[in-house]
Amino acid sequence: MPFEIYNTLSSKKEEFKSIEPNKVGMYVCGPTVYDYDHVGHARTYLSFDLLNRFLRFLDYQVKYIQNITDVGHLANDAEVGTDKIQQKAQDSGQSVKQVIEHYTEAHLKDMEALNIIMPDNFPKASEHIADIIEFIKGLTEKNMAYVTSQNNVYFSVSKDMDYGKLSHRNLAEIITGTRVDSAADKRSPADFALWKSSPVTVSDYTWESPWGRGYPGWHIECSAMSRKYLGDTFDIHGSAIEHVFPHHENEIAQSESLTGVEMAHYWVHSGMLTTHGQKMSKSFHNQVTVQDALKTYTNNELRLAFYQTHYRKPFDYTKESLEQGVSLRHKLFSGNDLLPEKTDQQVWQGIIDALNDDLDTSKALQLWGENAKLVSREDTGKLFEIFGLVYKPITENEKASELAKDRDAARASQDFLTADNRKAELIQMGYEVLDTPNGTVYVPR
Ligand SMILES: [Zn+2]
């Protein structure tokens, strides 16, 4: 069966067809760099890493762009709040630049620690101000945007007949749902900022523009940068489900009003992450950072836990759900020296068909876990690559192998002190030690 993916735009699964043969352009909204990534971010980036890896498995060359938002993301959707990064700088006594550099570096480190294939480019909003200004000028010339007496520029939502097509809402619903404290100089509460004036130089992150000194709105950054790196129309635009509205709806409005063509063919959104049923959020004090999660679980375990739930469904981050990742890792990592020469074709086809069906990792992993010993070493390697697992053959270390044998011998002769010592040495070498019917098994962590 061909690869099908769920498209938020059409609300259904569609066969994936790239614009150019064997090439895919993919844009995923990156972080606003004012804090550490938490496991909710990890889930989003791991969902798109899987999509990237599966497309590569299908022989597509993927050009992957993930932006860095370093200006313009306000704390309040109605665009009257403070800039999240500026706020962090004020609260922590650092400069805006220090905050941006620190959290950008932390984000890249987390991506690496999660074994995510690095995007081809991480464009920063602050380094694309000229492109953004050009974009906004184009929209004002087309009369799709207006400048107010306060030198703010807003997109005029009522002029865009398609507005609401991604989130499947109509304008009346959107206006009713808009917060009452929206900026006073907007013509309609549904309009959104393209450029915010900032006459007082509060930081280095303001720029001269045809409308005076200021900074760009959050949504326009993605429209300008995706266009610059992937063109007017590209294949896949993705992010977490909470960005469907307003962020992605606004990106579509800006881009398609300017270019007159479809911005992206497939809009892909990963489901939300909760913990014990509650949204993970700063205000609930229940955030787990990626760095903290990786102190308890390995990259392999996090991936295998997340991927046991379909990427569009909510994932509940609990000890129980994470331990399912640990237990699946045990199944997939042990006994790899006993893999057959040839793969059972029915099992293989079942796994690949599941992935072709809108990346049904839940089904694919279940099939693989139950039939791991029917998949050849070579094909097991392919699955490790698709799922981004780091596979280290457990027989590769001679010293570890000696220690395990020693431990088994000591246990057989009831010398539990020596057995415990050998186990401690293995743990110190970075292995997790499991007792199996076949004796000691040590798994790289
Ligand atoms: Zn975006």
Do 101 and 199 have their domain in common? yes
C-alpha of residue 414 to centroid of ligand 1, in Å: 62
Q: What is the CATH number of the domain that holds 66?
A: 3.40.50.620
Do 432 and 369 belong together in one domain?
Answer: no
In a domain, 148, yes or no: yes
Q: Are residues 353 and 243 in the same domain?
A: no
Token duo for residue 16? 């994936």
Residue 14 and residue 124 in one domain: yes
How far apart are the CA of 104 and the centre of ligand 1, in A? 16
Claim to verify: residue 264 and residue 411 sit in the same structural domain: no
C-alpha atoms less than 13 angstroms from C-alpha of 187 in its C-beta half-sphere: 12
From ligand 1's centre to the CA of 109, what distance in Å? 21
Short-list 14, 257, 267, 273, CA closest to 141: 257
Measured in angstroms, how far is the CA atom of residue 28 from the centroid of ligand 1? 7
Judge if 424 and 383 occupy the same domain: no
Nearest to 373 by CA among 405, 415, 343: 343
Q: List CB-based neighbours of ion ligand 1 within 5 Å.
A: 29, 222
CA 206 to mean position of chain CA atoms: 28
The answer to whether residues 18 and 136 belong to one domain is yes
For residue 305, the CA-to-ligand 1 centroid distance in Å is 27
Q: Rounded to the nearest whole angstrom, what is the distance from the C-alpha of residue 166 to the centroid of ligand 1?
A: 14
Structural domains in the chain (count): 3
Nearest to 245 by CA among 144, 181, 195, 170: 170
Which residues, 6 or more positions from 146, have their beta carbon under 8 angstroms from its beta carbon? 140, 153, 154, 156, 187
- Does residue 415 sit within a domain? yes
- CA 244 / ligand 1 centre spacing (Å): 10
418: containing domain: 398-444
State in Å: Cα 73 to ligand 1 middle. 11
Question: What is the predicted pLDDT for the residue at 172?
Answer: 81
**Model pLDDT, residue 419:** 93
233 Cα: distance to centroid of ligand 1 (angstroms): 15
Are residues 185 and 208 located together in one domain of the fold?
yes
- Same structural domain, 51 and 177: yes
In a domain, 73, yes or no: yes
Give 132 Cα–ligand 1 centroid separation in angstroms: 13
The alpha carbon of 378 is separated from its chain's Cα centroid by a whole number of angstroms, namely 28
Same domain for 187 and 59: yes
**Is 155 domain-assigned?**
yes
Q: Is residue 428 part of a domain?
A: yes
Same domain flag for 206 and 353: no
The pLDDT tens digits along the chain (445 residues) read: 899 999 999 999 999 999 999 999 999 999 999 999 999 999 999 999 999 999 999 999 999 999 999 987 776 554 666 788 888 888 999 988 999 999 999 999 999 999 999 999 999 999 999 999 999 999 999 999 999 999 999 999 999 999 999 999 988 888 776 655 567 889 998 999 999 998 665 567 889 999 999 999 999 999 999 999 999 999 999 999 999 999 999 999 999 999 999 999 999 999 999 999 998 887 888 999 999 999 989 999 999 999 999 999 999 999 889 988 988 988 888 777 788 999 999 999 999 999 999 999 999 999 999 999 999 999 999 999 999 999 765 455 788 888 999 999 999 999 999 999 999 998 888 887 877 666 787 776 6
Residue 81: per-residue pLDDT: 67
Name the one residue in this structure whose structure tokens are 């099992």. 347
Asked if 86 and 147 sit in the same domain, the reply is: yes
